[in-house]
């Protein structure tokens, strides 16, 4: 069964450093998403992406965040200058369309020290 994959599984970084989280969505999917989940809290939507541009973003997705689809398979989330409060699990998801089921990856646990 096709699945979404994410790398790395864990990332530790110093405050102020840039991090790039990588995702490989399911191959025939066209819609991509990033969510995050701070420990013990809800899963929160960050951004959706279609046709090489952002479709929607939440208030969390400020200027420190960016997304990119650098090639035909990868979908990345960049945090330009990490803050302590960016520590969370980051989940990538993909779907056939906005109305279809979203399939989530296993997540990247980011720890900012």
Name the site residues for other proteins (rule: CB under 8 A): 4, 31, 33, 35, 42-45, 48, 55-56, 58, 89, 91, 93, 95, 97-107, 109
Q: How far apart are CA 77 and CA 64, in angstroms?
A: 10
**Which of 48/82 has CB closer to other proteins?**
48
Cα 78 to the center of its chain, rounded Å: 8
Instruction: Quote the least distance from Cβ 92 to other proteins, whole Å.
Output: 8
Which residue pairs, CB below 8 angstroms and at least 24 apart, start in 50-54? 50/98
**Which of 82/108 has CB closer to other proteins?**
108
**Which of 82/95 has CB closer to other proteins?**
95
Instruction: Quote the least distance from Cβ 4 to other proteins, whole Å.
Output: 8
Instruction: Quote the least distance from Cβ 102 to other proteins, whole Å.
Output: 6
Q: How far apart are CA 42 and CA 36, in angstroms?
A: 8
Is the separation of the CB atoms in 61 and 40 below 8 Å?
no
**Which of 35/86 has CB closer to other proteins?**
35
Q: Beta strand 108-112 with 10-13: parallel, antiparallel or unpaired? A: parallel
Instruction: Quote the least distance from Cβ 54 to other proteins, whole Å.
Output: 10
Rg (C-alpha) for the chain, rounded Å, is 13
């Amino acid at each position: 069964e096709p699945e979404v994959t994410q790398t790395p599984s864990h990332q530790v970084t110093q405050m102020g450093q840039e991090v790039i989280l990588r995702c490989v969505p399911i191959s025939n999917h066209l819609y991509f998403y990033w969510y995050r989940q701070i420990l013990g809290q809800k899963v929160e939507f960050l951004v959706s992406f279609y046709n090489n541009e952002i479709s929607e973003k939440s208030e969390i997705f400020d200027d420190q965040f960016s997304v990119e689809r650098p090639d035909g398979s990868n979908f990345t989330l960049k945090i330009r200058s990490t803050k302590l409060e960016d520590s969370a699990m980051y989940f990538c998801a993909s779907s056939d369309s906005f109305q279809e089921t979203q399939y989530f990856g296993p997540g990247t646990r980011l720890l900012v020290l």
